[in-house]
Each structure stands twice: as structure tokens, then as C-alpha cells.
């Protein structure tokens, strides 16, 4: 969150606990214009907003198809003492981007009051309106709690809401200094400040993104590089096998960067440049996989009693990702549902005859006619209005 404009510079959803690489890549996402997505209204374009689009476009060509979210290069980041932010990965990312780090005081949430208030606003203005919202605690949770959106769909909804529901919404903390009663939006405040301070784009290259990834120090053996029971190998490693990296402080180990959300390859830094080293069993797996997916596949292999070799784990991982792609087996569910419906909806004829014999039909007295009084049709809307 940018303090000066209250802009939410970037937001990323993750399926499990946040990692240090998430915070690092969040910095990178802040420096890139938010692109327009298919299905977004033209009103969300930067050219249709209060942002100085033409001036920014003259400086940064990436703004041509950008959405109405400012690109802000932070000078300083205030962090708490969570392990994600004090990690070596996040610290190196800030150093790489020229961002200074200011730790907040322990047990002092007022040092990050703007962030805490923003989280509360997101919950109130966005999260509680999303189908499947489970509330802040179990008391606010309904009985029928089910996932309605995939993580990618939720991310797209959040990105769209940040533009139309936050950047264009007046913020009480943003006031016009010449007209204090006038409340500004984050985009309006950014337009005022960029006219004073200017805009300097910071373009990231592919090498910069690799620098933001976590690092492991490994030896390069004859079989390749070994990380978390996975083997990575490439013909490009030929001249580096069983060689000293030259870094005495690291005992001659080599610097290997990896993406915990895509472990199909790692990236080795050498004096000549970067080498992409693929996983030796990558051909057996049909989709990218994360570190928690790999750990789950190894656990399944151990529980099955089979030999948890790398090839066996790769086979189980492929089956797991295939099931996740195609979804659960709905045929069996439909058959079971039809069976239950047939059992309850169709009563055996013998039982119907016995029930008819147990309840005698009403008889009228001689010379009298039985009046049939029909029941009225139940109107749910009319009944609801009686209780309003």
C-alpha cells in the first residue's frame, strides 16, 4: 500500500502460506503496468481515467494497453518481523531494486496502521461480497460452505476490483490541500503527485526476475544438481561438473535459483551467465507443479508402500495433476444420486395398497353431501411481506 496515494500497488493470492518469493515477486509486480484483461470494460483503461495517461505513455510505452492502476516505484518498505519479510530472499530483492527496508517496532501495529486498515477495507468492500465467503471466524460461517471460484478466478476478480472498486473510490485520508472538504481518489492523488515529482520507469529484465527467486547452494556432480530429492541435469553443465565455484565463503558450492511454484527447472548462475537446468523426469509430468504438490506426491508414494524413487514420485505426481485438471469422477456421483432418488421417490406397489387399506375414505351421512374445501395456493412472497 502506497502511503501517499493509498494505492494498492499489487496483490497476489496464494493457495497456502505465503513464501518469501511471493513478497519478492510482489515488488516486481508493482513495477509493471497492470494489463487490460479480456472482458474488462473500457472504463477500466488508464486512458479513460484521471491518470495522466498521455504523459506517462510518452515516457513508458508499456502504458499503451494498461489498466487504470498507477505504477509506483517504492523508495522504502515498512515491514513487520514475519519470516517472509526478514528472509534473505526478500532482502536481496529489495537490494536489487534499490529499496530500503524499515522494520516496524515489535508489538506495535500502529507502525503499519495503513496496512491494517486496508486489510479491513478489503474484507468489508470486496471479500464479504464474494460467493463462498467464510467470514472472519466460525460464528460468521454458514452451513453450506463450498468453494465457488478457482484461485485464478479470484485473482482476476481481485485485480478488477482494485481498479474499479478501490482506485476510483474516494478515500477519507486523501484531501485536497486547497479544498479540505474535497475527498480524492487514489488515482486523483497520484495524478497530483506525479505532476510534481515526475515519473521514472524501472523496467525489469528476465535476469532481474531470476534475481528475485530463492537461492539454494549446491554442488554440480556427474549426475547434475540435487534439490529436495529431485535431480536436475543439462548438457550445458559439462564444464562445471565437480568444479569449485570460486566462492570460498560458500565452500565452493554453486548458486542455484528456483521458483517454488514451478519446480520443473532451476537456474544456475555461472561466470558466463545463467543456465536453465530441467528436471530429469520433467517429461513424465504434464503440468507445472509447486513444492507443496511435490511433498504431497512423495507422501502418497510413501503411504502406498511402493519404493519412493524419483521416477515413482513423478508418476504419482502426473496422476495427481491429471486428476486435478479433469476434476472428480462425476459419473459415479450421478449414478449414486439417481439410485437414492429412485429409492425414495418410487414406493413399492404392495406398500401403497396396504397404506390405502389402512386409511378409510370419509363417508357422508344419509341425505347429506360432503363439501370439499380446497386449500389455497401458498404464496411465499406474500407470506414474507406479512412479516416485514
Structural domains for the chain: 20-140+147-207 (3.30.420), 214-326 (no CATH)
Query: At residue 357, what are phi and psi to the nearest 5 degrees?
Result: -75, -25
> Between 346 and 11, whose confidence is greater?
11
Residue 363 confidence class, pLDDT cut points 50, 70, 90:
low
Among 125-129, 302-306, 359-363, which is the least confidently predicted range? 359-363
Q: pLDDT tens for residues 327-342?
A: 665 544 543 444 343 3
Cβ atoms of 270 and 278 within 8 Å: the answer is: no
Task: Report the percentage of the chain scoring pLDDT > 70.
Answer: 81
CB 240 within 8 A of CB 220: yes
Query: SS3 for 340?
Result: helix
Rounded average pLDDT over 169-178: 92
Using alpha carbons, select from 251, 233, 256, 261 the residue that is nearest to residue 13.
Answer: 261
CB burial string 149-166: b at 16+ within 10 A, e below: eeeeebebebbbbbbeeb
Q: Is the pTM of this model over 0.85?
A: no
Predicted confidence band of residue 306 (pLDDT cuts 50, 70, 90): low
pLDDT value at residue 290: 85
The answer to whether 258 and 246 have CB atoms below 8 angstroms apart is: no
Per DSSP bridges, beta strands 262-270 and 254-259 are antiparallel
Q: What percent of the chain has pLDDT over 90?
A: 51
Q: Give me the phi and psi of 269, to 5 degrees please.
A: -90, 125
Predicted local confidence at residue 157, as pLDDT: 93
Residue 316 and residue 300 in contact, taking contact as beta carbons nearer than 8 Å: yes
Instruction: Write out the DSSP string of 165-222.
Output: IIITS--TT-EETTEEEEEPPHHHHHHHHHHHH-----PPPHHHHHHTS-EEEE--BT
Task: Tell me the pairing of strands 100-103 and 76-79.
Answer: parallel
**Axis-axis angle for helices 20-30, 88-97 (nearest 10):** 20
E strands in 96-173 = 100-103
Residue 357 three-state SS: helix
Copy the grid coordinates of residue 325: 485438471
Residue 291's pLDDT is 86
**Spatial separation of the C-alpha atoms in residues 158 and 126, rounded to whole Å:** 8
At 46, list the grid cell: 488508464
pLDDT at 339: 38
Residues 311 and 230: beta-carbon distance below 8 Å: no
Amino acid at each position: 500500500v502506497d502511503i501517499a496515494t493509498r494505492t494498492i500497488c499489487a496483490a497476489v493470492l496464494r493457495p497456502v502460506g505465503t513464501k518469501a518469493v511471493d513478497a519478492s515477486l510482489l515488488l516486481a509486480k508493482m513495477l509493471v503496468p497492470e494489463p487490460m484483461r479480456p472482458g474488462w470494460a473500457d472504463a477500466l483503461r488508464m486512458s479513460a481515467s484521471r491518470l495522466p495517461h498521455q504523459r506517462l505513455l510518452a515516457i513508458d510505452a508499456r502504458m499503451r494497453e494498461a489498466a487504470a492502476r498507477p505504477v509506483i516505484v517504492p523508495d522504502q518498505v515498512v515491514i513487520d518481523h514475519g519470516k517472509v519479510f526478514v528472509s534473505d530472499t526478500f532482502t536481496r530483492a529489495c537490494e536489487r531494486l534499490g529499496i530500503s527496508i524499515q522494520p516496524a517496532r515489535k508489538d506495535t501495529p500502529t507502525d503499519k496502521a495503513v496496512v491494517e486498515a486496508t486489510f479491513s477495507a478489503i474484507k468489508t468492500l470486496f471479500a464479504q461480497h464474494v460467493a463462498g465467503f467464510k467470514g472472519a471466524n466460525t460464528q460468521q460461517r454458514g452451513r453450506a460452505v463450498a468453494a465457488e471460484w478457482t484461485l485464478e478466478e479470484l485473482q482476476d476478480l481481485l485485480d478488477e476490483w482494485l481498479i474499479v472498486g478501490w482506485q476510483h473510490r474516494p478515500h477519507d485520508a486523501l484531501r485536497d490541500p486547497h479544498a479540505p472538504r474535497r475527498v480524492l481518489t487514489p488515482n486523483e492523488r497520484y495524478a497530483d503527485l506525479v505532476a510534481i515529482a515526475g515519473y521514472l520507469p524501472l523496467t525489469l529484465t528476465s535476469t532481474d526476475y531470476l534475481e528475485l527467486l530463492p537461492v539454494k547452494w549446491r554442488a554440480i556432480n556427474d549426475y547434475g544438481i540435487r534439490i529436495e530429492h529431485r535431480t536436475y541435469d543439462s548438457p550445458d553443465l559439462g564444464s562445471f561438473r565437480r568444479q569449485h565455484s570460486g566462492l570460498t565463503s560458500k565452500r565452493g558450492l554453486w548458486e542455484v535459483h528456483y521458483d517454488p511454484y514451478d519446480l520443473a527447472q532451476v537456474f544456475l548462475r555461472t561466470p558466463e551467465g545463467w543456465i536453465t537446468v530441467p528436471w530429469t523426469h520433467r517429461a513424465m509430468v504434464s503440468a507445472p507443479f509447486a513444492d507443496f504438490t511435490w511433498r504431497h506426491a512423495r507422501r502418497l508414494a510413501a503411504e502406498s508402500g511402493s519404493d519412493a524413487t524419483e521416477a515413482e514420485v513423478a508418476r504419482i505426481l502426473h496422476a495427481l495433476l491429471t486428476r486435478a485438471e479433469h476434476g472428480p469422477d462425476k459419473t459415479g456421483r450421478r449414478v449414486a444420486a439417481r439410485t437414492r432418488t429412485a429409492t425414495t421417490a418410487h414406493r413399492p406397489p404392495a406398500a401403497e395398497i396396504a397404506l390405502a387399506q389402512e386409511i378409510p375414505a370419509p363417508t357422508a351421512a344419509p341425505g347429506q353431501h360432503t363439501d370439499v374445501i380446497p386449500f389455497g395456493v401458498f404464496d411465499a412472497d406474500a407470506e414474507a411481506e406479512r412479516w416485514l
